[in-house]
């Protein structure tokens, strides 16, 4: 199955013009960071705030700047 996914596809043509291979774009990377990275950062921030409230002391990196 892995070989089938990694195998090069045949060149596709439309009216004699060769289509480019699909590739990862900057917008796809930004959307990926938005949907994956932002929730992880938000969860970490929430955990840091909850620990700070429970312990009475801030442990996060952002506490050094406040």
Between residues 29 and 56, the one the model is more confident about: 29
- 62 CB-near residues (< 8 Å, 6+ apart): 48
In the numeric block, the tokens 């990926």 are attached to: 32
Mean pLDDT to the nearest integer, 22-30:
88
Say whether pLDDT at 35 is over 80. yes
Say whether pLDDT at 62 is over 90. no
């Amino acid at each position: 199955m892995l070989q089938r996914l990694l195998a090069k596809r045949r060149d596709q043509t439309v009216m004699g013009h060769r289509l480019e291979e699909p590739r990862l774009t900057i917008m796809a990377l930004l959307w990926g960071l938005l949907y994956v990275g932002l929730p992880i950062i938000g969860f970490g921030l929430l955990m840091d705030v909850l620990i700070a409230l429970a312990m009475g002391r801030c442990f996060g990196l952002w506490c050094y700047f406040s």
